[in-house]
Chain A
Amino acid sequence: MSQSSVDVPPKGGFSFDLCKRNDMLTQKGLKAPSFLKTGTTIVGLIFKDGVILGADTRATEGPIVADKNCEKIHYMAPNIYCCGAGTAADTEAVTDMVSSQLRLHRYQTGRDSRVITALTLLKKHLFSYQGHVSAALVLGGVDITGPHLHTIYPHGSTDTLPFATMGSGSLAAMSVFEAKYKEGLTRDEGIKLVAEAICSGIFNDLGSGSNVDICVITKGNKEYLRNYMEPNPRTYVSSKGYSFTKKTEVLLTKITPLSEKVEIVEVAGEAMEE
């Protein structure tokens, strides 16, 4: 039996077996690929009854917009949501992983998840990878101890704040918050302020764009307002559509008809008898 490993489904965690080859290629002068980043403006604020999170919806790959309407507000628990900025694969993977860990923890303890539990699980993971897992997060939720809002940086440091912004558009959004935030905002005032902060990011930061997503979390209830505002609709679509004068030339056509899959029906009453 050869020593080289068969590709059995792995037990989890990262695998580093292509690193040596990729290093060799980089040394030979071939640049590594750029990853999908969420340029992003993400914000959170605490209002009278809970937490409001907001995010834009543009995903970039270098200077190109790869996804015009991606989801940056990730589910962690029924009462906890997390916005992610940075490398898209990292934010998705880390929030999915901690979301599963929280659910297992809920089954074990029989209680609703607390925001600081999610915070500790996230910061432990990010710190152990020393910032190489590039995920900057705004974590918010309402648990038995009240509403909480935290920011988590890729190296694992965290802050607990009444209002927070992260991402390339964070300065644009923070300027709106610093000017207009006050304690004890109502739900509508809070949503209006968050939408204004995200719009400020969308219009002034090149890495953020498209629509505004908002998530309102209160005690025992959450509302995910996907595409709450669409300040950049596509208005130039021609009703005539595109017509092609010259048809493409086809060299070869192969048609494979797909037959219906055979259904096996269990006939009752013919079970084997002793």
Chain B
Amino acid sequence: MSIFEYNGSAVVAMVGKNCFAIASDRRLGVQLQTIATDFQRISKIHDHLFIGLSGLATDVQTLYQRLVFRHKLYQLREERDMKPETFASLVSAILYEKRFGPYLCQPVIAGLGDDNKPFICTMDSIGAKELAKDFVVSGTASESLYGACEAMFKPDMEAEELFETISQALLSSVDRDCLSGWGGHVYVVTPNEIKERILKGRMD
């Protein structure tokens, strides 16, 4: 069994018109046993920047804490929030530093940059950035997510339609993956508000 299949996870982010959505499942398991159904995989770095981490849960939490620490240092020094592109480079550098003994997680970064232009990117566990203009996926359900997003994604969707699309893609993909699911957690961020929604999914 792969180390990534130890806890199970599914994270996806999509780009819309001046907005973005990032969604994850809520299961935390130890191989085939489920031990929590409300695990937080997506965390806020600042109002317009979110990071979703899939993979080994302990590294998800440790890496998140390290990144928040580095961002707070940046805020103190620069007196402003980090741009999403800069943050992606920071995460990439932190992951590559551990090239021969990596953090066993794959981040998905989503944010609104200058002029409210949405930015998404994902990385493998050693920091190889993959910038995309439409959607990025990560986790044990990633193969199903690739298929679902390719079929369902349309460019320039508004916030409500984007929410519907990303939720349908997430729920249909985790339904085909034993290790992820138990509901969904979706954040849709526009320049004026963050809408956080918890989805009802199959609890098996």
Chain B residues with Cβ below 8 Å from A89 are 92, 95-96, 99, 124, 126-128
Q: Determine if A256 is an interface residue (Cβ-Cβ < 8 Å).
A: yes
- Tell me whether A88 and B193 are in contact (CB under 8 A): no
- Known contacts A33-B104, A242-B151, A70 near B130 by CB under 8 Å: yes
Given contacts A19-B100, A30-B6, A132-B100, contact A250 B199 (CB under 8 A): yes
> Residue on B with the closest CB to A63?
B143
A residues in contact with B167, CB < 8 Å:
248
Is there an interface contact between A244 and B168, defined as CB atoms closer than 8 Å? yes
Interface residue SS majority, chain B: mixed
Contact code string A213-255 (vs B, CB < 8 Å = 1, else 0): 0000000000000000000000000000110100111111111
A14, B2: Cβ atoms under 8 Å? no
Contact B198 A252 (CB under 8 A): yes
Size of interface on A: residues with Cβ below 8 Å to B: 51
Contact of B126 among A35, A64, A252 (CB under 8 A): A35
Residue B191 is within 8 A (CB to CB) of chain A in the complex: yes
Closest to B184 in A: A248
A253 contacts which of B1, B98, B184, B195 (Cβ < 8 Å)?
Answer: B195
Contact A67 B130 (CB under 8 A): yes
Partner of A248 from the list B47, B106, B151, B168 (CB cut-off 8 Å) is B168
Mark A103-144 against chain B: 1 for CB-CB distance below 8 A, else 0: 000000000000000000000000000001100000000000
Q: Is the CB of A92 within 8 A of B197?
A: no
The residues of B that contact A30 with a CB separation of less than 8 Å are 1-3, 6
Contact with A along B64-86 (1 / 0, CB 8 A): 00100110010000000000000
7 residue pairs of the A-B complex, CB under 8 angstroms, read A15-B101, A18-B103, A33-B124, A36-B128, A88-B124, A242-B154, A255-B193
Using a CB–CB cutoff of 8 Å, the interface residues on chain B facing chain A are: 1-4, 6, 47-48, 55, 66, 69-70, 73, 92, 95-104, 106, 123-130, 132, 142-143, 146, 151-152, 154, 164-165, 167-168, 171, 183-184, 191-200
